[in-house]
């Protein structure tokens, strides 16, 4: 089983000689918000029987760690709404204690963070990404369709007090937050938090037309350069962001640009859904059904071979396009794949 992996570990190398060292795991497709660019307002969530158990998630993660994965990011949906989710963090933290895992972290909308931040920090979670697109409470309610901004801000403060490094992730949305991005940067950096800007991605069918939502980060950056001095940095954190230092604040700002600048050349990650589907690329539909293998055998060597075979199919990159009257590039919602 997961604690007794007897096969000889070897790194996972894809067809383009990239070592796969980063696994993002969606533990649920459910969320307590309904962000307009991410979900349909009337989402149909997966039946609970289709989801991997926390024990199965632990076993799969342990197999990946045995094959050279050094960073795990827990995502959703909203991961902290999954029942007993801290049990999974407690189990995975043993790999931090042993040194086999370098980092265990999560991406969250922050609504549950005040409740869980102290224990997360105690278990070795040193960094957390919080998705937050506006500091305007009215806009926040409109974008999330149901969220309360003060609850998220309290969660961020709880994480900071617990000693975790917080990074703010903001999706750039035309006619929503473009004008307040400079002030959000000043706020985040003023509290010692990094911030990353993200372009809208064409994942899943939603009510809105994404051409109306899409704000190119090339445009955002040009506007920011009218107020700030942006110095390119060589920093990489295992994700797709390219970073600059904002000289006036001293803080770091990232740009994730899947549409205006493909970021695939150094991709070192794969994504595991809450149903055990291993997606080799965020922007492609090819996947491997690890749930079937997981439930068919207790032999982790067999499971590891299924992972190895899947990695041989990892593509060089995605081909995201947002066009009016064009279906989403990928039919599954981001909440299914993991943010």
Give dist(CA 236, CA 175) in Å, integer. Answer: 30
Q: What percent of the chain has pLDDT over 90?
A: 67
Q: Which pLDDT score, from 0 to 100, does residue 283 have?
A: 62
In this predicted structure, what is the pLDDT of residue 39?
76
Q: What's the burial of 175, exposed, middle or buried (CB within 10 Å: 0-12/13-18/19+)?
A: exposed
CA 124/CA 217 separation, integer angstroms: 33
What is the spatial distance between Cα 310 and Cα 326, in angstroms, rounded to a whole number?
A: 29
For 79, residues 6+ apart whose C-beta sits below 8 A from its C-beta are 26, 27, 28, 85, 106, 107, 108
Chain position carrying tokens 């994730």: 256
Neighbours of 15 (CB within 10 A): 11
pLDDT in tens, 181-212: 999 999 999 999 999 999 886 544 544 454 66
DSSP, collapsed to helix, strand or coil, labels residue 130 as strand
Query: What pLDDT is recorded for position 40?
Result: 77
Instruction: Answer with the residue of higher pLDDT: 268 or 42.
Output: 268
Cα–Cα distance between 329 and 321 in angstroms, integer? 7
Q: Cα separation of 131 and 173, whole Å?
A: 13
- For residues 134 and 140, the answer to whether their CB atoms sit within 8 Å is yes
| pLDDT at residue 338, rounded to an integer | 55
Place of tokens 């199919």: 313
Residues in a beta bridge with 127: 165
Tokens of 238: 């295992």
Q: Which of 189, 194, 191, 142 is nearest to 168 (CA)?
A: 194
Round the average pLDDT of the chain to a whole number and report it: 87
What are φ and ψ of residue 129, in 5° steps?
A: -100, 130
Joined together, the tokens standing for residue 250 give 């001293």
Identify the residue with better confidence: 160 or 241: 160
Listed residue (254, 319, 291, 279) closest to 20, CA to CA: 279
Residue 178 has pLDDT above 60, yes or no: yes
> pLDDT tens digit string along 253-307?
999 986 544 556 668 889 999 999 999 886 677 789 999 999 999 999 999 999 9
- Run of H or E residues at 256: strand 251-256
- Residue-level pLDDT at 322: 42
């Amino acid at each position: 089983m997961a604690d007794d992996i007897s096969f000889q570990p070897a790194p996972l190398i894809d067809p383009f000689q990239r070592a796969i060292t980063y696994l993002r795991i969606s533990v649920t497709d459910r969320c307590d918000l309904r962000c307009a660019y991410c979900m349909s307002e009337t989402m149909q969530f997966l039946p609970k029987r289709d989801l991997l158990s926390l024990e199965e998630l632990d076993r799969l993660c342990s197999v990946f760690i045995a094959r050279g994965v050094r960073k795990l990011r827990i995502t959703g949906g909203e991961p902290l709404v999954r029942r007993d989710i801290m049990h999974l963090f407690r189990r995975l933290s043993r790999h931090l204690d042993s040194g086999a895992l370098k980092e265990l972290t999560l991406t969250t909308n922050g609504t549950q963070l005040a409740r869980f931040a102290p224990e997360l920090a105690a278990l070795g979670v040193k960094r957390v990404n919080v998705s937050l697109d506006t500091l305007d409470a009215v806009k926040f309610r409109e974008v999330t369709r149901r969220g309360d901004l003060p609850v998220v801000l309290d969660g961020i403060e709880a994480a900071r007090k617990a000693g975790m490094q917080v990074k703010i992730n903001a999706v750039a949305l035309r006619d929503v937050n473009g004008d307040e991005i400079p002030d959000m940067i000043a706020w985040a950096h003023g509290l010692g938090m990094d911030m990353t800007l993200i372009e809208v991605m064409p994942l899943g069918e939603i009510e809105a037309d994404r051409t109306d939502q899409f704000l190119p980060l090339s445009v955002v950056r040009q506007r920011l350069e009218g107020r700030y001095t942006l110095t390119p940095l060589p920093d990489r954190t295992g994700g797709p962001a390219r970073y600059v230092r904002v000289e006036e604040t001293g803080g770091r700002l990232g740009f994730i640009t899947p549409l205006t600048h493909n970021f695939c050349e150094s991709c070192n990650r794969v994504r595991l859904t809450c149903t055990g589907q291993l997606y080799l690329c965020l922007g492609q539909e090819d996947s491997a059904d690890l749930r079937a293998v997981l439930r068919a055998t207790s032999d982790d060597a067999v499971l590891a071979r299924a992972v190895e075979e899947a990695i041989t199919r990892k593509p060089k990159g995605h081909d995201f396009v947002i066009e009016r009257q064009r279906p989403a590039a990928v039919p599954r919602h981001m909440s299914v794949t993991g943010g």
